[in-house]
Amino acid sequence: MSQDTLAYDDALRIVLAQSTPLPAEHCPIARCLGRVLATPIISTVDLPPFDNSAMDGFALRGDAHLAADTELEIEGEQAAGDGVARAHRGAWEIMTGARVPDGLDRVIPVEQTERLGSTRIRLLAEVSAGQNVRHAGSDVHRGENVLAAGTVLAPQHLMLLASLGIAQISVAARPRVAVLCTGRELVDDPAQPLAPGQIRNSNGPFLAARIPLAGAEIVYQETVGDDASAFASAVQRALGAGAEVIISSGAVSMGRYDFVPQALQQLGAETLFHKVAIRPGKPLLFAKLPGGALLFGLPGNPIAVAVGLRFFVEPSLRMMLGLPNETPRRIPLLNAYAKKPRLRFHLKSRLCIDARGQLAIEVLGGQESYRIRPLADADAWAIVPAEIDSLPAGSLVEVYGAGHLEFPLPREIQA
């Protein structure tokens, strides 16, 4: 390994040291899906807000148990949405979700009663105190911490917030990201026929799709030819659009057309590292622009872009969102795996169930950095450290989900 090639952990430390948490902002809950909660939610109300019936039936009161064959007069009726009612004697016909009249403490299902004319019922089963009543605060107590800061808001969280009457919340601001794809061979328009030597731009659509899933927003996107001045101008346009993070693909290796380092010099940027001991994506570059924006120069091969995004850009975005460092899962390898030492490998992988019914990670074939099809079949990344050259089947390896906010596994149970 050359002296200027950093180990992954060292490079990541540099990235995180430059990644500053962003301020929080208020957001209506209707627009909070996928946002990261900035402050905990403390309920100011009980949920349910009042004792209510779990089913259609009759609300009653009595001793610890009301015996079967007890006969009672029907005193009133309570439907969902009716306000406070006060019971004096007898039974109240009640509908599911209706407020239990004050003084009553149990509900018998309608099918466990017999009508005796229009104003009287007989109980066909014993009824205990509290039976079939949803008590106020039995779901959420006033003053309870219901959602922790750092929660990535899903539909079920929005359901809870709405039930508590919360109209807007404090969420982490989305990092603003620009995407610059380089290469005169790239064709953006899928309807345009390819000339000899041209290829479709796959990195741009991939980054544009994945970045919002990582909690950020795209503010600028451009494809640039093989020219340092044109790239520098594109960076200025991205900054003008408000980008706090710029991701470029291509032109960071050592060839004649790898002009990104030259363009960064023109811009007065500080290159913090260039080359990391990883595969794929070894030529990855990280720089800080005047004004503080961060630039990740990713190699142009599609899987090098995917790895650079997942293991360098996303940890930076995670820090900006105020989230703790990501913790991988340790999962056994389905099959043995061997590699050359000195580089940390990021392997396109798929979670599966082995012959014993246990979770395992399958390393897919086609790990070359140009091969997109295996990435389409993958749902996880398996990591093999730089110092390891072979692992037998069943070895525990670190596994990461497709994105830092996505993982198709149960949470680890804390001891």
Q: Going by C-beta distance under 8 Å and a sequence separation of 6 or more, which residues neighbour residue 108?
A: 57, 58, 60, 66, 123, 125, 127, 131, 132
Residues above pLDDT 70, as percent of the chain: 97
Taken in order of first residue, the domains within the chain and their CATH numbers are 8-22+174-320 (3.40.980.10), 25-47+140-169 (3.90.105.10), 52-134 (2.170.190.11), 329-401 (2.40.340.10)
pLDDT at 90: 82
pLDDT at 408: 54
pLDDT at 2: 46
pLDDT tens digits for range 55-90: 999 999 988 889 999 999 999 999 999 999 999 878
Half-sphere exposure of 212 (CA within 13 A, CB side): 10
54: left (phi over 0), alpha (psi -120 to 50) or beta: alpha
pLDDT at 413: 47
CA distance 114 to 71: 9
pLDDT at 258: 83
**Pair 319, 150: CB distance under 8 Å:** no
Torsion from C-alpha of 24, 25, 30, 36, nearest 10 degrees: -10
The rounded radius of gyration (Å) of the Cα atoms in the chain is 30
Residue with tokens 């509900």: 107
pLDDT tens digits for range 309-344: 999 999 999 999 999 999 999 999 999 999 988 999
- Token pair, residue 133, equals 């009543």
> Which residues in the chain land under pLDDT 70?
1-3, 257, 407-415
**Pair 79, 46: CB distance under 8 Å:** no
- Token pair, residue 122, equals 């007989």
CA distance 375 to 366: 9
CA distance 271 to 46: 54
CA distance 283 to 300: 10
pLDDT at 409: 57
Task: State the chain's mean pLDDT as an integer.
Answer: 94
Half-sphere exposure of 215 (CA within 13 A, CB side): 32
CA distance 121 to 14: 76
pLDDT tens digits for range 100-119: 999 999 999 999 999 999 99
Residues above pLDDT 90, as percent of the chain: 91
| Alpha-carbon torsion (200, 202, 203, 209), positive or negative | positive
CA distance 395 to 125: 59
Print the SS3 string covering 212-223: HHCCCEEEEEEE
The backbone torsions φ and ψ at residue 282, rounded to the nearest 5 degrees and listed phi first, read: -55, -40
| Alpha-carbon torsion (90, 95, 96, 101), positive or negative | negative
Would you list the DSSP string of 163-212?
A: HTT--EEEEEPPPEEEEEEE-TTEE--TTSPPPTT-EE--HHHHHHHHHH
From 282, 344, 387, 316, select the one nearest 13 (Cα to Cα).
Answer: 316
- Token pair, residue 340, equals 């050359």
pLDDT at 219: 98
